[in-house]
Structure 1
Amino acid sequence: MIERILEPILRKKCEESKIVVLKGARRTGRLTLVSRIINLEDPTIGIIDCSNKKERKAMNEPEALRAFSRDKKVVIIRDAQLLENLQEFIDFAIELDSLENLLLICSFEPELHEDLWEALREQGLELNLFPLSYPESAKFHGLVQEDKMLEQRLIYGYYPEVVTNEDQAEKLVSEIIESSIFTQLGASERINKKENLIKLLRHLAFNIGKVISFNDLGKKCGLDNETVERYVKLFAKANLLVLISSYNNGHRYELKKSHVVYFLDNGIRNALIRAFQPLEFRNDAEELWKNFVISERFKANEYAGRKPEVFFWLTHTKQEVDYLEITNGEAFGAKMSWEDSKKIKIPASFSELYPQIKVTGINKKTFWTFLRK
């Protein structure tokens, strides 16, 4: 079994706190991770699966949920964001001395009181699980072998079952689209235009790393610009997309109030546009590489507990820095290239405007250092 970076963190949080929230898209291995620290066969461990409509309907009765929990040491609620009376049950669980842990497994933020969210986040009790990361897979397969598999990862991504069943990768990643995108949001989220939504996601997939216009996307997808923006931000919150804003200080030619989008998993992006050809037959290798590196950096920051501000920089004359990261006033940047023989040019205009920000070229030989920075 591939060891997850989050395992010791989740174990420690469950030892320290009664309530822990584990967020992650479906099929990222959430329950598998939980099973590494909790014996799910123990009769004192109760699991409620809210993706099952009958089970969810039964447990939406407050007394049924309470009765279920009274003889349990641990209660695990899968897809907890779908449970209507979740906050009421949490209030009950806090007072139930016999209950040692309440673990909420979610693919989207459940509706909880703001003061509870504030307390959970302040104590680091909201954890995010992603598809496998490069370091996790490299530890399992060995660094040399993982480097050989880079092209495969750029095409099929890092969902656990895809990595462990490489001969079925295309079939599996296509199946994951439905389960990870359309069935994982909160019960109150209005996702009622599935056909329009899939159009939107495909347009985003074709335009990873390019400046997007919510208004233009809406016209192409039959949605108004406010709905487009809401959907994009929803899927960023659900850890399927990374939404990055433009960096500017009011200098001439700098883009302002602009955004680019990347996917948290290359395989999901490629499945949306049905593009699984080898890199030698594609014209989007550079975009795939940027998506891969930025998504891996995103995972690394989350697992390390870092919360940097993240930007891209672009001018109207097409001078560009792919990625900027700022933490406590300290900043660094990166420009990326899949071809390690290609010299990466840092825009002179950026260096003149921001001499304090060092920009590094990231290719296949240097990205491991970038992930560990």
Structure 2
Amino acid sequence: EFHYLPNATKLFKTIYDGYKNIKIYASGSSAIEMHRHLKESLAGRRRLYRLFPLSFSEWLPSKSSLIKLPINIHSKVKPNTHLRLREYLEEFVVFGGMPGLVHEKGIESKKRLLLDLVATYIQKDIKALLREEDILSFNRLISLLAGQEGNLLSENSVPQVLNYSLRQVRKDIAILNQMFLLEILKPYFTNRGRELKQTNKIYYFDSGIHNAILRDFRGLNYRPDKGVLLESFVLHEMQKNLGVSQEIYYWRTREKDEVDFILVQDRIPIAIEVKSKISSIEIPAGIKQFLNKYPECSMAIVLNDNLSEEIIYKDRRIIFAPHYYASLIPFLYEEKETGN
């Protein structure tokens, strides 16, 4: 938490300029506080990184040293390995990737740790940044946002539910985003028609934290929000492998055609749809509409429970793959560059 250190940037600058063989790693949990305490420019002297919770591939060795994720999206896994990966993925989605959890073997101890994290960090530490606001209203906002995860965020409806001003709602959501607790997903549009341009979608940064806020740790098949939890998993797995010029959006038209995620690099999109259950190779309607509208999109991914196949639709590649392939999607641009 370097932002609590007085004159931290002056100290970093002095060390960097005077001792070329020394590297400094400085971490902080609040973008707001970090920028507030960066009194001097470190231009040319710093690189910024975001530290995420554990990815599925980082977490997996805590469960098995034998089960491995595929090395690319075209790799096939054996049926028994697939079943084990699905089982582990469900546990990972329910409890998330906070590092301390890998040391907790019991379900109750995992729940307790997540609830403690919510109580100490989200409900108290972040609250200190809001100061004058009512802690009860802020906690209700956190719960409300968890219930709306993966849906279009209607900021205008939140004040009516919480007796909050619209200005305060926007301020609090911005703080949650700057504290890296909320992911704000913007719509993809290119002024080609009736696409949503202003409404955002939100996801909590970790599915275990999301479940702790809702106090719901049931398995995926017992959850009404199973689809949202799988979307969240896919989003976070892609984020952890994003290239510097890659961004993730969602797509939706006023006619309600929709694609869960649009990954973009150099203005070239890849459409990604997340399905909680499909039994046959069938291209989702939203994917078809997006491909018709964007001829530069040469590829789409349909992530699902079991199906693994590649087909061609109007000269575009449509790849069906299990959810645990999500982390490999950002690397598809490398395949396109090499012609594979």
Question: When the two structures are superposed, what TM-score results if normalisation uses the length of structure 2?
Answer: 0.75
- 1:151-200 deviation digits (Å, cap 9, x = unpaired): 1122111112223314122111111112332455698x445433222212
The aligned residue for residue 286 of structure 1 is: 227
The aligned residue for residue 196 of structure 2 is: 255
Which shifted more, 265-274 or 247-256?
247-256
Deviation at 1:359, TM superposition (A): 2.5
Q: For 1:206, which of 123, 147, 169 is the aligned residue?
A: 147
Count of paired positions: 287
The aligned residue for residue 247 of structure 2 is: 309
Gap change, CA 1:100 and 1:227, over 3 Å in 2: same
Q: Is the 8 A contact 2:16 2:45 kept in 1?
A: no
Q: Is the 8 A contact 2:194 2:253 kept in 1?
A: yes
Q: Is the 8 A contact 2:10 2:40 kept in 1?
A: no
- The alignment partner of 2:295 has SS state of coil
- 1:90-145 deviation digits (Å, cap 9, x = unpaired): 344445649934331211231314731x4355xxx222222110111234533344
Gap change, CA 1:278 and 1:85, over 3 Å in 2: same
- The alignment partner of 1:269 has SS state of helix
Q: Distance in 2 between matches of 1:174 and 1:237?
A: 22
Deviation at 1:371, TM superposition (A): 1.6
Matches within 5 A, 1:95-174: 97=19, 100-109=22-31, 110=34, 111-113=37-39, 115-116=41-42, 118-120=43-45, 125-140=47-62, 141=64, 142-143=67-68, 144=81, 145-167=84-106, 168-174=109-115
Q: For 2:4, which of 74, 82, 89 is the aligned residue?
A: 82
Q: Distance in 1 between matches of 2:260 and 2:20?
A: 51
Which shifted more, 132-141 or 82-91?
82-91
The aligned residue for residue 62 of structure 1 is: none
Question: Structure 2: 5+ residue runs without aligned partners?
Answer: 69-80, 307-320, 330-340
| CA RMSD in angstroms, aligned pairs only | 2.7
> Which residue identity lines up with residue 271 of structure 1 in the other structure?
A
Q: Does 2:282 match 1:356?
A: no
Q: Distance in 1 between matches of 2:45 and 2:139?
A: 33
> Which residue identity lines up with residue 372 of structure 1 in the other structure?
L
Gap change, CA 1:371 and 1:99, over 3 Å in 2: closer
Q: Is the 8 A contact 1:108 1:186 kept in 2?
A: no
The aligned residue for residue 336 of structure 1 is: 274
Matches within 5 A, 1:174-323: 174-182=115-123, 189-193=129-133, 194-301=135-242, 305-323=243-261
The aligned residue for residue 53 of structure 1 is: none
Gap change, CA 1:151 and 1:246, over 3 Å in 2: same
Identity %: 22
Which shifted more, 342-351 or 286-295?
342-351
- 1:27-64 deviation digits (Å, cap 9, x = unpaired): xxxxxxxxxxxxxxxxxxxxxxxxxxxxxxxxxxxxxx
Q: Distance in 2 between matches of 1:307 and 1:146?
A: 30
Q: Distance in 1 between matches of 2:238 and 2:267?
A: 19
Q: Distance in 1 between matches of 2:253 and 2:227?
A: 20
Q: Does 2:323 match 1:370?
A: no
Q: Is the 8 A contact 1:177 1:272 kept in 2?
A: yes
> Which residue identity lines up with residue 272 of structure 2 in the other structure?
A
Q: Is the 8 A contact 1:107 1:184 kept in 2?
A: no
Which shifted more, 150-159 or 89-98?
89-98
Q: Distance in 2 between matches of 1:290 and 1:300?
A: 16
Q: Distance in 1 between matches of 2:277 and 2:131?
A: 40
Q: Is the 8 A contact 1:177 1:268 kept in 2?
A: yes
Gap change, CA 1:108 and 1:307, over 3 Å in 2: farther
Question: Structure 1: 5+ residue runs without aligned partners?
Answer: 1-78
Q: Is the 8 A contact 2:262 2:269 kept in 1?
A: yes
Deviation at 1:249, TM superposition (A): 2.8
Gap change, CA 1:179 and 1:120, over 3 Å in 2: farther
Deviation at 1:294, TM superposition (A): 0.7
Q: Is the 8 A contact 1:335 1:361 kept in 2?
A: yes
Deviation at 1:86, TM superposition (A): 2.3
Deviation at 1:300, TM superposition (A): 2.1
> Which residue identity lines up with residue 134 of structure 1 in the other structure?
F
Deviation at 1:214, TM superposition (A): 2.2
Gap change, CA 1:107 and 1:182, over 3 Å in 2: farther
> Which residue identity lines up with residue 313 of structure 1 in the other structure?
W
Gap change, CA 1:213 and 1:173, over 3 Å in 2: same
Q: Distance in 1 between matches of 2:124 and 2:28?
A: 12
> Which residue identity lines up with residue 179 of structure 1 in the other structure?
T
Q: Is the 8 A contact 2:240 2:327 kept in 1?
A: no
